[in-house]
Each structure stands twice: as C-alpha cells, then as structure tokens.
C-alpha cells in the first residue's frame, strides 16, 4: 500500500530512516539543495519566513539564528511537527500542523516563503500557490525545491539495494501520481515537467526570477568520487519567484 507524504513520515520506521539520512554531512540535501535555496532566499536578517513542509525544524532554527525576524513552519506530519516544536523550543519560531492543500494564509504577512522538497507530494499546486501569492508582501520571494522531473519520471525501484548506475526517463509527459519505494516504505509522489512548475508559478501571479538544477559545486564535497557522481544527473529543481510591487503602493 502506498501513502501520501504526511502519512508516510508518520510511519515511525520511515521517520527513523529519514532522521538518520537527513543529517548526513555529504547528503544531497546539504551539498546540492540547501546551498541553492539559501542563495535564492538571500540574507535572512529582518525577514519574516513561512516554511511550507518545515520538516524537523532545523531550517527554521538556522534562519532565526542568522537574524530572521520571525519564522512559522507548517507541516502535515505529526512526527515532523513534534520534532520541529522540540527543536525550536527557546526560540521565537512557531510550528503548525496542517495539510498544505487546505491552507488559508493571511494577506501580505511574509517576506520570504520556502517549500523545500515537499511540493512533489501534492496532487494540485494551484490552491497552495494562490495562497502563497496572497501571503507574500510586495516584492516578497518564494523559493521552492522539488525532486527533479527526470527523477520523478525514472524507475527508482533499484535504489534501495545499492548505488544506481543508470537512470531511465520514461513517460515524461504523462504527469500525475507515481508510487515510489523509498526509505523502506511506499509513497506517492506527483510527477510534473519543468514546464508545469514554471507555469504554476506564473498562473499564481508571481514572476519567476531564477530556475536552478542544483549543479554540484566541488567546494561542498570532501569526497571527489561522490562529487563526480553527482555531476551525472540533476537531483533537484529549484525555482525562485517574486511578488511584484503593486502600482498603487
């Protein structure tokens, strides 16, 4: 049986594997995805952050330590919210449990919105992107990362048993749900093309300001062999968008 994202991470066995993998110093989150997201979000000092799919809260803790004015993390997983609440204890950051598809956000509350590796769990991006546009202040920035479409359109069933040596992209333009075996469980991830993500941002009234594919940088790797391996295929797609300043502002 396959499950959605929040239910997947509320499986304690899966969550234990996630927690172990997530903190690997040379894991792809740290070496490929985070450096690009941080660059596109810019200096956190004085910014009001909304973090969609906040996970264990480490990102929020780091943002507040770096000078962010406020931080609200939202996640649909009970395990993630519990972990984030514990990690943010003693800071000004807050965490809420909610399904991202059902959010109703305040108008022009946040100057920065992030969604790191969560949107591929959602069947429909339109409601959430509309809420993000509503919640951003004028000139606010929305940065999100997803598994790259060449990954969500590949058969990854062999990755549990060893290092993959080839990637076969198939049915690329047949978008929609695909069941993936990952971290010891089955989870549904929704495949979209690069064009789909780009169009979803534009349809929400936001202006795409950057599109990145997490190209590896040697300075983030102590292991040269791992660095060369990461150059073979993109793992993440990262898009930044900006809310235009209103003409009457």
Q: Convert the pLDDT of each residue in 51-87 to its tens digit.
A: 999 999 999 999 999 999 999 999 999 999 999 999 9
Q: How much is the pTM?
A: 0.93
Residue 4 pLDDT: 87
Q: Which residues are bridge partners to 48 per DSSP?
A: 70
Cβ neighbours of residue 162 closer than 8 Å, sequence gap 6 or more: none
Residue ranges and CATH numbers for the domains of the chain are 5-242 (3.40.50.150)
| CA count, 13 A, side-chain hemisphere, 211 | 11
Give the DSSP per-residue string, 72-108. EEEES-HHHHHHHHHHHTTSS-EEEE--GGG--PPTT
Residue 188, pLDDT score: 94
Per-residue pLDDT at 68:
98
pLDDT beneath 70: ranges in the chain: 1-2, 155-165, 246-249
Structure confidence at residue 167 (pLDDT): 78
- Could you tell me where the beta strands, DSSP code E, fall in the chain? 48-52, 70-75, 94-97, 110-116, 136-147, 176-182, 185-191, 207-212, 236-242
Tokens 């048993």 label which residue? Answer: 161
* Cα dihedral 215, 219, 222, 224 sign: positive
Q: What is the pLDDT of residue 247?
A: 61
pLDDT of residue 20: 84
The answer to whether the CB of 243 falls within 8 A of the CB of 135 is no
The residue with tokens 């172990």 is 20
Which residue has tokens 């993000």?
132
C-alpha distance across the termini of the chain, in Å: 51
């Amino acid at each position: 049986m396959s499950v959605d994202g929040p239910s997947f991470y509320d499986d304690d066995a899966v969550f234990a594997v996630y927690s172990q993998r997530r903190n690997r110093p040379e894991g792809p989150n740290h070496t490929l995805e985070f450096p690009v997201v941080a660059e596109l979000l810019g200096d956190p000092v004085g910014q009001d952050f909304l973090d969609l799919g906040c996970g264990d809260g480490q990102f929020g803790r780091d943002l507040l330590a770096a000078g962010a004015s406020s931080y609200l993390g939202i996640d649909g997983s009970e395990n993630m919210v519990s972990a984030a609440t514990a990690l943010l204890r003693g800071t000004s950051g807050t965490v809420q449990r909610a399904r991202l598809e059902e959010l109703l956000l305040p108008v022009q509350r946040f100057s920065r919105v992030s969604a790191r590796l969560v949107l591929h769990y959602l069947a429909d991006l339109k409601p959430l992107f509309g809420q993000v546009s509503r919640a951003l202040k004028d000139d606010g920035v929305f940065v999100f990362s997803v598994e790259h479409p060449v990954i969500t359109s590949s058969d990854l069933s062999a990755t549990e048993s060893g290092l993959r040596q080839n990637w076969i992209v198939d049915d690329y333009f047949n978008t929609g749900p695909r069941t993936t075996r990952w971290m010891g469980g089955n989870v549904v991830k929704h495949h979209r093309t690069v064009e789909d993500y780009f169009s979803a941002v534009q349809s929400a009234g936001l202006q795409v300001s950057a599109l990145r594919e997490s190209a590896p940088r040697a300075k983030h790797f102590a292991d040269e062999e791992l660095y060369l391996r990461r150059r073979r295929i993109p793992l993440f797609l990262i898009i930044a968008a900006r809310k235009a300043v209103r003409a009457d502002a």
